[in-house]
Amino acid sequence: MSDSTIHDKNYIDGAWTPSTGTTRIPVTDPATDEVIAEVTASTASDVDTAVAAARAAFPAWSQTPPDQRADYLAAIAGKLSERSEDIARTISSELGCPISVARAIQVPLPLNSFAEAANIVRSYDFETEHRGSTIVREPFGVLGAITPWNYPLHQIALKVAYGLATGNTVVVKPSEVTPLCALALVDIVDEIGLPPGVFNVVFGTGSDVGEAIAGHPDVDIVSFTGSTRAGRRVSEVAAGTVKKVSLELGGKSPNVVLDDADLGAVVPTSVQAMMLNSGQTCTALTRMLVPRGKLAEVEALAKATADALPVGDPTDDGTAVGPLSSRAQQQRVAGYIRKGIDEGARLVTGGEPNIDAPGAFVRPTVFSDVTEDMTIHREEIFGLVLSIEPYDSEEEAVRLANATDYGLAGAVWSASRERAEAIARRIRAGQIQINDGAFNPNAPFGGYKQSGNGREAGVFGLEEFLEVKSIQG
């Protein structure tokens, strides 16, 4: 490993600043098990320095006209577009994401966030009149952004783009699993000349850097994306300073297939979508609810689709499924597959991975006859595991769809749009897809129940980072 792949600094106050941490965190290509870089394991002291820089930059940045803030964001979007291929390859190597998926999703989504935040803030009305009061929306102050590894640049962008658009300054902790795309964003921010202290990045672990951000008295709002377990911890730590906490957490999303749906079209489409990004998507439709009388047909279609997915080298344009993000994630998913078998679910295809083989690979796996008392029905697996669950009536389908602690996403398939929408309105989740409705990256994104609180993207995402003040007189 060359010196150029060792990153022992944080980006603070517009400059690369040596970390006070004495150790480094390896970044591994999960397809080859090769260490491709190292980043600093920063400390609470580094967070103090970054927060102080953000705090000092806040007065000027918050008073910068929205059009000027939008110009910076648009410039970032432009540079992301220029460097899209290099960034796609970076994300592919650190995450194991197939290069085709990185090009189609992992880079376009963050580019969209910066461009859309710029568009919205140019025309957003920060002051309105309401029955004699002036209602003012203004930034919180310092935003602490703690982000995950599955869509690493996208999740940074959802927080940074809308946070900066609204006049907040930002301290970001990227995932230690996939930190390299954050380096690319730092280079762009530095190149366009964003004022020092407005955007800061501190590398490190959740227990050290994440908790220091969440509990910091000079951080005014925390936006966290990750597991529900970690989200609870962020809330606990942040509670000491009574700051706002926005959480985008896990999911166990139902995919309700009604009895009049075209199974030949629905099942392959659903299986392919669920396996996207190696199943490491919080909104993945991991529970397919199907009429009991059509179970055998659904199983055959799901098996054929899963078995046909090209699994392998993520640098190959023909690969649809790469490895999971890490060996630790591979072990986690393997454990859930064993639990599924042990608890009586019927394995249709796939099964436990070969842990001894190179790379963190898992075969696309499908279970059937999954019941609501099983672990694989209840818990988020975050891997290539689909559960097929039979139902006997629409009422039971709705009950099973909602029989989860989560409420992030869902889908309903039917030949009748009206029928599908009626079911969709009864599912307690933040985003519902009807038939082949496309994902809208600018619609409000977030969940019910233990999938979190708050919303990201679009106008709702912008307003998440704004305080509300009323002025009378």
66: confidence class by pLDDT, cuts 50, 70, 90: very high
Q: Is residue 14 part of a domain?
A: yes
pTM > 0.75: yes or no? yes
For 244-295, the pLDDT digits (tens) are: 999 999 999 999 999 999 999 999 999 999 999 999 999 999 999 999 999 9
Averaged pLDDT for residues 151-180:
98
398 plus 464 within the same structural domain: no
Q: How far apart are CA 225 and CA 218, in angstroms?
A: 20
Task: Tell me: do 197 and 334 sit in the same domain.
Answer: no
Q: Residue 134: its pLDDT value, please?
A: 97
What is the model's pLDDT at position 1?
54
Task: Indicate whether 136 belongs to any domain.
Answer: yes
pLDDT above 60 for 2: no
Same domain for 417 and 434, yes or no, is: yes
pLDDT score of 232 more than 90: yes
**Which of the four pLDDT bands, split at 50, 70 and 90, describes residue 473?**
confident
CATH of the domain at 319: 3.40.309.10
Judgement on whether residues 243 and 386 belong to the same structural domain of the protein: no
State yes or no: pLDDT of 92 exceeds 60: yes
pLDDT tens for residues 408-430? 999 999 999 999 999 999 999 99
Mean pLDDT of the chain: 97
Look at residue 50 and tell me if it is in a domain: yes
Strand, helix or coil at 207? helix
Buried b (16+ CB within 10 A) or exposed e, 336-368: bbeebeeeebeebbbbebeeeeebbbbbbbbbb
Q: What is the CATH number of the domain that holds 184?
A: 3.40.605.10
Residue 100 predicted with pLDDT over 60? yes
Q: Give the Å distances, CA to CA, from 226 to 44, 135, 411.
A: 21, 33, 22
54 in any annotated domain: yes
The kind and range of the H/E element at 107 are none
Is 133 inside a domain boundary? yes
Whether residue 455 is found in the same domain as residue 343: no
Whole-number CA gyration radius for the chain: 22
Residue in 94, 211, 282, 299 annotated catalytic: 282
Q: Catalytic: which of 176, 248, 380, 456?
A: 248
What pLDDT is attached to residue 131?
Answer: 92
Residues 418 and 344 in one domain: yes
Predicted confidence (pLDDT) at residue 3 exceeds the cutoff of 80: no
Beta bridge partners of 247: 224, 453
| Annotation says 389 is catalytic | no
Strand partners of residue 311: 321
Residues 235 and 320 in one domain: no
Hey, which residues does 387 pair with through a beta bridge?
287, 367
- In this structure, are 104 and 200 located in the same domain? yes
Question: In Å, how far are 204, 216, 293 from 468, measured between CA atoms?
Answer: 33, 22, 53
pLDDT at 472 over 80: yes
Taking residue 22's Cβ as centre, other Cβ atoms within 10 Å add up to 9
Domain of 365, in residue numbers: 254-441
Q: Is 460 inside a domain boundary?
A: yes
Indicate the helix (H) or strand (E) that contains 437.
none
Output phi, psi for 291, to 5 deg.
-60, 135
Q: Are residues 18 and 121 in the same domain?
A: yes
**SS3 sequence, 117-166?**
HHHHHHHCCCEEEECCEEEEEEECCEEEEECCCCCHHHHHHHHHHHHHHC
- Residues 77, 220: one domain? yes
446 falls within a domain: no
The tokens describing 401, both together, are: 């769809």
SS3 at position 61: helix
Total structural domains in the chain?
Answer: 2
Phi/psi at 336 (nearest 5 deg)? -70, -35
Structure tokens at 220: 């005014």
Q: Same structural domain for residues 124 and 67? A: yes
248 catalytic per annotation: yes
User: Mean pLDDT, to the nearest integer, of 94-120?
Assistant: 98
Decide if pLDDT at 392 tops 80: yes
Among residues of the chain, what percentage have pLDDT more than 70? 99
Residues 64 and 131 in one domain: yes
Picking from 185, 206, 184, 164, the residue whose alpha carbon sits closest to that of residue 54 is: 164
Query: Which pLDDT value is given to residue 4?
Result: 64
Strands 34-40 and 24-29 turn out to be antiparallel
